[in-house]
Amino acid sequence: MEPIDKEKAVECLGDESVFDAMVSSFLEEVDQMMVILADAVSSGDGAVIKEKAHWVKGGLVYLHAHPSAEAAKRLETAVGLGPIEIKAAHDELCVEVERLKAALSGAA
């Protein structure tokens, strides 16, 4: 599955300029959010993991970046499962976000 469905995202957002603005905003904020998530995973702070994974998921849904959004959702729900599941879900999200960033590198 492709990291993003740009055509659907543009259709959903109304036009390409809105999509470009969303991509720019996402790219400006996602690295910091991923650092916060990594720190929360390391310290076992479930509340922060859920909050930040939810934020990341929200942006990904609007971009129709389904693989990353699903990974964020898995991280959000892994909080109730335990540290091994949280780490695995976080690792998956990191991989998917990097794939998405690579796909978006020329889109913004």
2 within some domain: no
Q: In the chain, how many domains are there? A: 1
Tell me whether residue 59 is in a domain.
Answer: yes
Structure tokens at 30: 């996602």
8 Å CB contact between 22 and 104: no
pLDDT value, residue 1? 82
Looking at residue 76, its pLDDT comes to 96
Query: From CA 59, how far away is CA 76, in angstroms rounded?
Result: 14
CA 81 – CA 91 distance, rounded (Å):
15
53: CATH = 1.20.120.160
User: Average pLDDT over the chain, rounded to whole?
Assistant: 93
Does a structural domain hold residue 92?
Answer: yes
Is residue 84 domain-resident? yes
pLDDT in tens, 74-108: 999 999 999 999 999 999 999 999 999 999 986 54
pLDDT digits (tens, 9 = 90+) for 6-23: 999 999 999 999 999 999
Confidence at residue 108, expressed as pLDDT on a 0 to 100 scale: 46
Domain containing 42 equals: 15-104
pLDDT given for residue 106 in this prediction: 61
Does residue 6 lie within any of the structural domains?
no
Largest CA distance in the chain: 41
Backbone dihedral region for residue 34 (phi beyond 0: left; psi -120 to 50: alpha; all else: beta): alpha
Q: Does 82 fall in a domain?
A: yes
pLDDT for 36 equals 97
